[in-house]
Chains A and B, each alone.
Chain A
C-alpha cells in the first residue's frame, strides 16, 4: 500500500516566517478534501490566531499527464484529450487547439463555421460563469443561488447535446471548421435561451448585489492592483476588476470577433465584489454577442475543402476514388503538417488560455504545452490573501475561479 508522502516544517523553512519555527504561529493544513477547495487543492496556511500570515498552495493532486499522452496520438485523436483540461470551458479547449493546428497547417475555416464557433464559445462562457456564481455564493453560504444557476445551466447543456450528442466533452470544433452542421432546432433553442436570459441574470443580481451580508463579506477583501497582476501574469476578470480593460477578444481577435459589438466591463476596486460585478456584466455581454451572431448567421459550408487535412463527406466516398484514398490515409495514418512551432491564445473565463504546438513533420504532435490561467491565479493567491481572516480565504479562492484540471493538466 502506498504511504502518504509528507513534508515537515523543515522542508518549508524557506517559505514560512521565523515565527512558525519558534511555534508562535500555527501551521495548518487545509487538505485536498475540504468542502470549499473547488477540487483537490491543498493549502498550507500559517495562522496567527485567525489572521493569515502566509499561504502555500500545494498542487499536483489531479496531474494527468495529458501533454505526454498527446505526443503518442495523432492530431485528430489528441483533440479528444484536450476537452478534459479545463472541464468548465470545454469548447474553448477544443477551439484553442484547433486554432493552433489551423495556424500550423494553413487551413481557413468558412464564415458559417466561425459564426457557430462564436455562439458555442460564448454559450460555454455563460455556463462557466453560471457555475461560478453558484459555487462561490455557496462558499459564502448563499445556497439558493446555486439552485437557480444550475437550472439555467441545464438549458445550455441541452443545446450542446443537440449539436454533438454530449453534454460536456463535445469535441465539436475540429481543424478546418466544425464536425458537422448544426441541426434545424439549434436556432430556435438558442433564440429561446437568449430571450429569457437577461431576466434571469436580474434575478441573481437581486439576490446578491445589494444583500448586506454579501457586501460585508466581499467588499475590501482580497485586493490586488494592476501592477502586481501584470507582474504575476494574472489575466481575465481578475485583471479587469483592477481597472485595466484588457480582453484578448478585442486586442488579438480570432474567429471573427471583430465584427461583433460588445463592451469590456471593468471595475476599479480589485476586490471580491469587483470581480463579481465584472463577471455578471460579462454574462450580459455574452448574451449580446450570441444575439448578434445569431442574427448574422450566414449560409454555406462548415468545413474547409482541403482534403489533405479534412476528411471528405460521406456521400462523396461512394463515387470518387480520391476521396476514398484521402479518407483511408487520414484515418489510418493522419495528416503531416509542416515543421515549425506556433502559439495561439484565446480568452477563457479565467484569463488567457494558449497552446504552444511544435511539429516535426510527422503525424503526431512533437510537443504540446497548454498555458493555462488557473496556475497563475493560484500563484498570486498569497498576494491577495495575506492579512485577512481564514473565513475570507475561502471567499477569495472562490472569487478567483480556479479549476484544478487547468492547473495540473
Chain B
C-alpha cells in the first residue's frame, strides 16, 4: 500500500471496523450504508481528500442481499492518490443518505443514479430524473431492464419488420 494512504486507511479501519481490499495498487474500503457520510467527512477534513471523483453504483442482479454496491472514489490534490470505498444496499427499497453536504458536486451524480438505477437518497435537495424524459417508467441501467434491441432488417424479414416500424409523415 502507498505510504501516503496508510494513515487514512488505518484510521478508518479501526474507527468503523471496515474491510480493506487491494487490487492492482488500489485500496478499497467497505462500509455499511450509514457509515458513509461520517467517513467522507473525516476524509475531507482530516486527511485532505478534497475532490469526489466518482460516485456510481453496480448492480449484482440475481443476488438480493447486497444487490447494489455504491462505489465512491475520492482524490487528494496535495498527495495525488485515489481512495475507493463501497457500501452495499439491499434490493428492496435501496436508500442511503446523500453526500451533498460533504461534497456539493454529488448533486447531479445522485440524480443520475436515481434516474438510471432507482437508488433513493435521503436529504437530497432535488431528486428528479435527469437523463431520461420526466415520465419514463423504469430504471434503465438495472440488469433486469431489457436493452431495447431492435431486430435487424435483412431481405428475408424486411416487409414484416417494416409493417411494425413507426413512420413519420407530413401533416396535411
Query: B73 and A14: CB pair below 8 A?
Result: no
Report the count of interface residues on B (CB-CB < 8 A).
37
Is residue B23 within 8 Å, beta carbon to beta carbon, of the partner chain?
A: yes
Q: Smallest CB–CB gap between A59 and chain B, Å? A: 6
Is residue A232 within 8 Å, beta carbon to beta carbon, of the partner chain?
A: yes
What CA separation (Å) do A136 and B123 show in the bound complex? 38
Query: B147 and A233: CB pair below 8 A?
Result: no
Is residue A366 within 8 Å, beta carbon to beta carbon, of the partner chain?
A: yes
Contacts of A246 in B (CB 8 A): 77
**Which single member of A65, A231, A375 contacts B104 (CB below 8 Å)?**
A231
Contacts of A262 in B (CB 8 A): none
Contacts of B73 in A (CB 8 A): 343, 356
**Chain B residue with Cβ nearest A360:** B60
Query: A376 and B141: CB pair below 8 A?
Result: no
Query: B26 and A371: CB pair below 8 A?
Result: no
Query: A342 and B23: CB pair below 8 A?
Result: yes
What CA separation (Å) do A331 and B148 show in the bound complex? 25
What CA separation (Å) do A292 and B23 show in the bound complex? 34
Query: B82 and A343: CB pair below 8 A?
Result: yes
Query: B105 and A231: CB pair below 8 A?
Result: yes
> Which of A34-55 touch B at CB < 8 Å?
none
Report the count of interface residues on A (CB-CB < 8 A).
42
What CA separation (Å) do A11 and B129 show in the bound complex? 12
Query: A59 and B131: CB pair below 8 A?
Result: yes
Is residue B70 within 8 Å, beta carbon to beta carbon, of the partner chain?
A: no
Consensus secondary structure, chain B interface: loop
Is residue B134 within 8 Å, beta carbon to beta carbon, of the partner chain?
A: yes
Query: A59 and B84: CB pair below 8 A?
Result: no
What CA separation (Å) do A53 and B19 show in the bound complex? 47
Is residue A221 within 8 Å, beta carbon to beta carbon, of the partner chain?
A: no
Query: A65 and B134: CB pair below 8 A?
Result: no
What CA separation (Å) do A345 and B132 show in the bound complex? 27
Query: B54 and A369: CB pair below 8 A?
Result: yes
Query: B80 and A371: CB pair below 8 A?
Result: no
Contacts of B103 in A (CB 8 A): 231, 233
With contacts A5-B135, A60-B131 taken as known, whether A366 is within 8 angstroms of B58 at the C-beta atoms is yes
With contacts A60-B132, A340-B23 taken as known, whether A14 is within 8 angstroms of B126 at the C-beta atoms is yes
Query: A345 and B53: CB pair below 8 A?
Result: yes
Is residue B107 within 8 Å, beta carbon to beta carbon, of the partner chain?
A: yes
Is residue A388 within 8 Å, beta carbon to beta carbon, of the partner chain?
A: no
Contacts of A59 in B (CB 8 A): 130-131
Is residue B140 within 8 Å, beta carbon to beta carbon, of the partner chain?
A: yes
Q: Smallest CB–CB gap between A403 and chain B, Å? A: 16
* Beyond known contacts A343-B26, A369-B54: 8 more, CB 8 A cutoff: A14-B125, A60-B130, A60-B133, A231-B103, A343-B82, A354-B54, A356-B71, A366-B58
Minimum-distance CB pairs A-B, first 5: A60-B131, A233-B105, A251-B80, A63-B131, A340-B23
Q: Which residues does B use to contact A, with CB under 8 Å?
A: 23-24, 26, 28, 50-54, 56, 58-59, 71, 73, 77, 80, 82, 84, 103-105, 107-108, 125-126, 128-135, 140-141, 147-148
